[in-house]
Structure 1
Amino acid sequence: MKQQTIIVTGASTGIGKAIAGLFLQHGHNVVINSANGDNLKATFNELGHHDRLAMVTGSISSPATGKQLVDTAVERFGAVDVLVNNAGIFEPKPFLDVDEAHLDSFLTINLKGTYFTSQAAIRQMLKQGEGSIINIGTVLVDHAIGGFPATAPISSKGGIHALTKQLATEFGKNNIRVNAIAPGIIRSPLQSKSGVSNADSLAGLHLLNRIGETQDVAELALYLAGSNFITGEIINLDGGHVSGHHIN
């Protein structure tokens, strides 16, 4: 794969940080983003390769952040080849306890953020004649877990799955490929934020009887970025979570 320029949102920790690090290891240019400036600066310093790394602080809930990410990538590295829409929030809450503000927080950050950041990137990709967008969804859209009420975030992620297929259809003739990765349980800071103190306790949800690692997601993102004939796919990265279950 030729050297590419990658934008990774939500890249200061967890999955986004692993994706940014792997692309840098493979010689690509990377623009990282987070709403948390302190975390982003720490990750920027940790990742190194500063001749091929730039950062933009800001919430993707604002369309201006997406535009700034694209402008930074073009000004610094000359292109936007790949956008990884990783930034998002997730929190379980019983359906009957969800109020409008709680629901809006997920729709605004997860769905609207992915939507308008993609819009900014596609404008640039059309000028270049090609590009790739990789969205991060969840297997819970198609395979819910009883006892884990999360209608608000999963509704927003369902919108991201639908958006993935729509964008792939609308821009396929422009050689812009749009796919989504739907992770199962991945070891990341998101687990503790969701109230899961021991992520490994959920290993039994997967046929492989283990949870995933952020590197697993990063490796799939790297593959999708280099592929020129995969589009419109929601790829489950879930250790067999959707395929079946163990009896005990």
Structure 2
Amino acid sequence: MSTSQRVAVITGASQGIGAALVQAFRSRNYKVVATSRSIKPAADSDIATVQGDVADPKTANLVFKEALDRFDRIDTLVNNAGMFLAKPFTAYSNDDYAAYIATNVTGFFHMTQRAIEIMNKQGSGHVVTVTTSLVDQPMTSVPAVLASLTKGALNAATKSLAIEYAKNGVRVNAVSPGIIKTPMHPLEAHQFLASLHPMGRMGEVSDVVEAVMYLDSAGFVTGEILHVDGGQVAGHHTI
């Protein structure tokens, strides 16, 4: 195996979990290619930034061209970009549906296909995707069928890809979070959202980051859907 410095590509990297992942990979001495629609240039010469919409195949081409031109390899792809909109199923619009498919599924397809092409040639690599525990444990208090429809597809694709590429040295995993404390959730909702987890608290960004970093270093783990959800997926609890 090459002793070159490792390289991670992170989508949805401008804020929240994505921005924290950029710092976590840098703390492990990875070079990073960070992409999102609103990403700004980085002062750190070991962080390359690419502005673009993950749903556009041109973005994946730009991201991986930058990774190879600048850093000469790609070891890890974190599919972190995603959207979440809780509303009753019959209230979703055609635009809501199209946006979910574009960001959560089409973005995953283009980024992952391009990454695995490169990893196959290297004979090593890791893809990890952020999904949601609502796929396995829906809640009446958080109606989110489009999240389950799209992120459930990603869980299934994770297992399928893990088996398809296991002998090629490419691992594929997912992190399935509960409700994480990010700016997307208003402060006044935190108490209610915390109560939805058996552990009685919302997840922290660091909880998800630590799970991603564990999977990245766990060389014998592939096809895993790692739940980071305060016990949600284990079963029902009394609120």
With structure 2 as the length reference, what TM-score do the two structures score? 0.93
What is residue 229 of structure 2 aligned with on the other side?
238
- 2:45 is the counterpart of 1:51: yes
**TM superposition shift of 1:136:** 0.6
Q: Structure 1 stretches of 5 or more lacking a match?
A: none
2:204 pairs with one of 203, 206, 213:
213
Name the CA distance, whole Å, in 1 between partners of 2:17 and 2:110. 21
Say which of 54, 60, 64 aligns to 1:60. 54
For residue 100 of structure 1, report the CA deviation from its aligned partner: 2.5
Q: How many angstroms apart in 2 are the aligned matches of 1:67 and 1:131?
A: 18
- 2: CA distance between counterparts of 1:30 and 1:200? 35
- Counterpart CA distance in 2 for 1:15 and 1:133 is 16
Match of 1:188 in 2: 182
Aligned-CA RMSD value: 1.6
Q: Which amino acid aligns with 2:192?
A: S
Q: Where do 1:73-152 residues align within 5 Å?
A: 73-152=67-146
Aligned-pair identity in percent equals 39
Give the corresponding residue for 2:213.
222
Aligned with 1:25 (options 24, 27, 34): 27
More contact order relative to length (CA 8 Å, sep ≥ 6): 1
Within 2, Cα distance between the matches of 1:100 and 1:77? 40
Any unmatched runs of 5+ in structure 2? none
Separation (CA, whole Å) in 2 of partners of 1:197 and 1:14: 19
Displacement of 1:207 in angstroms is: 2.3
Aligned-partner Cα distance in 2 for 1:108–1:129: 30
- Are 1:176 and 2:170 matched, yes or no? yes
Aligned residues: 236
TM-score, normalised to structure 1, is 0.90
Distance 1:199 1:133 in 2: 31
Alpha-carbon distance in 2 for matches of 1:236, 1:190? 20
Letter in 2 for 1:12: S
Aligned-partner residue type, residue 238 of structure 1: D
